[in-house]
């Protein structure tokens, strides 16, 4: 079987639907490969994604496990009231990136103290207009500062 990053979207969708893998695992795999093998990648933005966890066949690694492979600065946007992403795990990711490449050490994190998980998802009850708007502006500014936009 081809490595994940060479498979077509149709094949990957089938693997997710069958339970062979998860979208999250595929995304983490893809991002690690893109960052490790694509010198054109200049920056990343993470919107409240889980950072730590136990390795499983469907989720073999989490972002904190991949931090040493990150070669770009990352902006992390997190909700202080997100029960699925405790703030100590955000601190673990900050620390892991601080041990990484020069670019990864330039990463920044913003925690919106009163925001829950998915505060940017305007189709969910967790949507927080002010935090979402601020995060979006920070996202755009981050990419511009990194020479992306």
For residue range 50-100, list pLDDT tens digits in order. 889 888 776 777 888 888 888 889 999 999 999 999 999 999 999 999 999
Q: How far is CA 72 from the centre of its chain?
A: 12
- Burial level of 25, CB count in 10 A (0-12/13-18/19+)? buried
pTM greater than 0.75: yes
For residue range 11-49, list pLDDT tens digits in order: 556 665 666 555 555 555 555 555 555 677 788 888 888
Fold of 41-145: Rossmann fold (3.40.50)
């Amino acid at each position: 079987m081809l490595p994940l990053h060479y498979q077509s979207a149709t094949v990957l969708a089938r693997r997710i639907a069958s339970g062979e893998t998860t979208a999250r695992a595929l995304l983490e795999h893809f991002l690690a490969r893109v960052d490790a093998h694509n010198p054109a990648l200049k920056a990343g933005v993470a919107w409240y994604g889980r950072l730590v966890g136990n390795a499983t066949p469907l989720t073999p690694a989490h972002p904190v496990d991949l931090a040493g492979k990150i070669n770009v600065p990352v902006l992390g946007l997190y909700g202080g009231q997100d029960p699925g992403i405790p703030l100590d795990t955000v601190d673990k990711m900050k620390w892991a990136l601080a041990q990484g490449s020069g670019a990864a050490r330039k990463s920044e994190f913003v925690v919106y103290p009163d925001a829950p998980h998915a505060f940017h998802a305007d189709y969910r009850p967790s949507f927080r207009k002010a935090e979402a708007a601020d995060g979006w502006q920070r996202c755009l500014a981050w990419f511009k500062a990194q020479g992306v936009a």
